[in-house]
Amino acid sequence: MASRLGVDELLHVFSFLEAPDLLRAAQVNAVWNEVSRTKELWRKLCLRRWSSCRASQVVPGRQTWKQYYLSRSELEFRVESGRPEDFVCKAIAGHTGQIDQLAYVSTNDYCFDGREKSVVCTVSADCTVRAWDLHEGTEIWSSPVQPAPLVNLVTYPQQQLVITVDTQGLIKVWKAETGCEGASFSLLTSCAAMEAYDRPEDPFLLVVCAEGNLCTLMVPQLTVVSKVATFPHASLGFAGSPDGQWVFIFPQHLDLGPQVFYIQSLLDPLEDEPPVSTMLPVSLASRACWAPVEAARLIVMHRNNDCTQMIVTTFELKAEKSKDRVTTVVQQMFSFPLPDTMMPPHLMQSHGSQVILLACGSKLVLFTIYGRHLTTFHDHQRSITSLWLDANRVITSSLDLSLRIYMWNKENQVPALKSCYHLLGGSHRWASGFIHVKSDSMSIVAVEARSIGTSILRSYCFKVRHN
């Protein structure tokens, strides 16, 4: 049979095979081996397994679709297994003060041709911003010492920019590759929160200052296009929707209704008209997040009217446009009370369209937006300090000096979370726990706080097959 089938017939038959069978067929003879390496066969396998896979990730002359498939499959196996032989752990020191925030500035693309690099930037109480190569475990650049401690940063991987803010509200732009300083802007007061919008054409920055003003700045010039008063002198929460159309601002623990702004009206303000916004019919909000796969599904944790129970309410937002105006439509979808016996959550995130993750002390608790309790994980011995997740994984950091990695099983209608393995930090003699964690496609990095008031980075880079 092997000798009677022509190349076209073989190619048709091979198009029905999965990767393991295609690899077995390649061992039959030289002709089958040659046909099994056909670009289109492996391109279809890649797109079938990873719908977000892009042709730009496979550069002709550097990598084939087959090499991409095999390398990414092996990497995902290592990330899910977490065996000691699957990764390289490095302790990366340099800051002389506590690291207050970190963010990846490298793109999250899967790349296996030797160009891959995981780069993070950090800001610290030592008044510097620095960039780090996690695979090499080295510092790429450090800024000059700034006039005040840096407390927050956001990154623009597509633009290769970093934006920092210090305790005095001074915002600065830095080039991610070189550390060269760019534009700056002063809020004249401290910054409560900021969020980056890394659009290819018109990137911008949303900033909430301590006085309650919401500022919209274009990047990289940091020119102000709008400034709106929200909740004066309140501790504010801040979250932008996945579609980049809405931003949610709420005064934490105050008897005031949170506010949702339509972002386009902040970018294109009309003279003598306020931006398009609406108040939500809840008060005493403490946490909020957006469902990542929905355009504008907002989940808010708040107290009930008599402050006796913690409630989780889900809203959906829509902008209705007419000739000369935009109207915000808010629909309350679901609402449920958290159990009275449950410790008040201090962290909240969402997965998919209907799963809510809550960190309650050392526990990770999962509910649906309908109020169904899915599971509770008791993997940590001390309080969870940070919660990171994407479509495939959840990672928690804790003061017990460990990271816990969970994987989603998406075969059921409601995704199930599986606890897979843990990663340990350094010695408890020197360290007081992990306080932040982030990840990209091939690395995990956490901030390890030291007992003497400083911090280091601890990176876990998964081994990658090179072509």
| Residue spans of alpha helices (H) in 51-106 | 65-81
Predicted confidence band of residue 57 (pLDDT cuts 50, 70, 90): low
Give the mean model confidence (pLDDT) for residues 85-99.
95
Distance CA(7)–CA(13), nearest Å, equals 10
3-class SS of residue 371: coil
Distance CA(93)–CA(83), nearest Å, equals 25
Other C-beta atoms lying within 10 Å of the C-beta of residue 67: 17
Q: Is the bond leading into 60 cis (omega within 30 degrees of zero)?
A: no
**What is the pLDDT, as a whole number, of residue 61?**
62
Closest by CA to 450, choosing from 415, 419, 426, is 426
Give the mean model confidence (pLDDT) for residues 176-203.
93
Give the mean model confidence (pLDDT) for residues 170-176.
97
Token duo for residue 220: 């990289």
**What is the pLDDT, as a whole number, of residue 456?**
96
Query: For the chain, what is the mean pLDDT?
Result: 91
Give the mean model confidence (pLDDT) for residues 51-77.
80
Asked whether 399 and 382 are in contact (CB, 8 A), the reply is yes
Q: Is the pLDDT of residue 178 over 70?
A: yes
Please compute Rg for the chain using Cα positions: 24
> pLDDT for 122-155, tens place per residue?
999 999 999 999 999 999 999 999 999 999 999 9
> pLDDT for 434-448, tens place per residue?
999 999 999 999 999
The residue among 76 and 307 whose pLDDT is bigger is 76
Predicted confidence band of residue 1 (pLDDT cuts 50, 70, 90): very low
Q: Is the pLDDT of residue 110 over 90?
A: no
Q: Which amino acid is it at 241?
A: S
Q: Is the dihedral of CA 284, 350, 198, 276 positive or negative?
A: negative
Question: What percentage of the chain carries pLDDT values higher than 90?
Answer: 67
> pLDDT for 322-365, tens place per residue?
877 888 999 999 999 999 999 999 999 999 999 999 999 999 99
**What is the pLDDT, as a whole number, of residue 368?**
96
Give the mean model confidence (pLDDT) for residues 363-368.
97
Predicted confidence band of residue 105 (pLDDT cuts 50, 70, 90): very high
Predicted confidence band of residue 466 (pLDDT cuts 50, 70, 90): low
Q: What are phi and psi of 49, to 5 degrees?
A: -85, -35
The residue among 454 and 305 whose pLDDT is bigger is 454
Pick left, alpha or beta for residue 314 (phi over 0 → left; psi -120 to 50 → alpha; otherwise beta).
beta
Q: Is the dihedral of CA 241, 237, 312, 260 positive or negative?
A: negative
Distance CA(278)–CA(259), nearest Å, equals 6
Q: Which strand ranges, in their side-by-side order, compose the sheet holding 191-197?
A: 191-197, 204-209, 213-218, 223-229
Give the mean model confidence (pLDDT) for residues 280-289.
90
pTM exceeds 0.85 for this model: yes
Predicted confidence band of residue 74 (pLDDT cuts 50, 70, 90): very high
**What is the pLDDT, as a whole number, of residue 194?**
93
Distance CA(45)–CA(31), nearest Å, equals 21
Q: Is the pLDDT of residue 55 over 70?
A: no
Give the mean model confidence (pLDDT) for residues 104-127.
87
Q: Is the pLDDT of residue 2 over 60?
A: no
Return the exposure string of 425-439: e unless at least 16 CB atoms fall within 10 Å of the residue's CB, then b: beeeeebbbbbbbbb
> pLDDT for 233-267, tens place per residue?
777 888 899 888 999 998 876 778 889 999 999 99
